[in-house]
Amino acid sequence: MKKEKIILFDLDGTLIDSTDAIVSTFYHTFKELEFDFDGCDKDIKDLIGYPLDIMYKDLGVDDSKVWDFVDAYKNRYRVISKEKTTLLENAYEAVALASQLGRVSFVTTKTRMYTMPLLEHFNIAQFFEIVTGRENVQNPKPHPEPILITLEQMNYDKNLHDVWMIGDTKLDLIAANEANINSIGVLCGYGEEDEIREYTQFIQKDAISAINFLKNLEN
C-alpha cells in the first residue's frame, strides 16, 4: 500500500526571508535596553533558527537580563515583522504543490503569535494543517519534540505515512534525524551547504526544488 506523505516545513530561510526584521529588531533592543553590542550583523544571522533567549545569551547578554530582551524583541517584532519580511521566490508555489502531494504542517522556532499573522499575510496559512511554534514545546529544534508533537496531532502512523522535513539549517535536519523521519536541506536560507550535508543526504536549492524532488519520487 502506498504511504500518504506528510511534509513538514521550517519557516525562516525555508519559505520566508525575515533577516531584516530579525536583525533590525535585535539592534532596536540593544539600544532600548542600553546594551553595548560589539558584534556585527553576521553574528546575529548565524544564530537565526535558535530560540531568542539562546541568541541573546550567545550575543553576550547576561543571563539575568535575557528575558527582558526577549520581551522587548517581541514587542518590536510584532510592529515591524510584516513590513520587513518577504516570501521567498516560489515559496507559495512550493507550499501549494506540497498540499497536493500530501498533508502539510509547520514546525518553527517562532512563536505562533507571530507565525500565524505572517502565514495569513502571505496567503499560505490555508495550506497548513498544524502550526507548531516555540510556545507549544518544552524543547525547541534541534530536539525532536516539535516534530514529534506535530506528528502526534496529525495521527502519524509509521506504517501509513511517509514523513519529510524541509529546512535550511542543521537544527531542522538534526531534529528530523532524531525523530527518525526523512529530511531535505535547502540552500535558500541561513545554513551553509557543507554543514547541511553532514545531516542529510538530500539537498535542494529551495523549497520548490525540494517539493519537485518529492513529486518525482512518486513517478
pLDDT in tens, 86-103: 999 999 999 999 999 999
Write the DSSP symbol of residue 104.
Answer: E
Q: Please state which CATH number belongs to domain 19-80.
A: 1.10.150
Q: How many angstroms separate the CA atoms of 158 and 162, rounded?
A: 7
Q: How many angstroms separate the CA atoms of 30 and 32, rounded?
A: 6
Q: How many angstroms separate the CA atoms of 105 and 112, rounded?
A: 13
CATH architecture of 4-17+86-217: 3-Layer(aba) Sandwich (3.40)
Q: How many angstroms separate the CA atoms of 153 and 146, rounded?
A: 11
Q: Per-residue pLDDT for 135 more than 80?
A: yes
Helices (H) and strands (E) in the chain, counts: 10, 8
Q: Where in the chain is the domain with CATH 3.40.50.1000?
A: 4-17+86-217
Q: Each residue of 39-56: pLDDT tens digit?
A: 999 999 999 989 999 999
Q: Where are the beta strands (DSSP E) in 120-200?
A: 131-132, 161-167, 182-186
At which residue does the C-alpha cell 519580511 appear?
Answer: 85
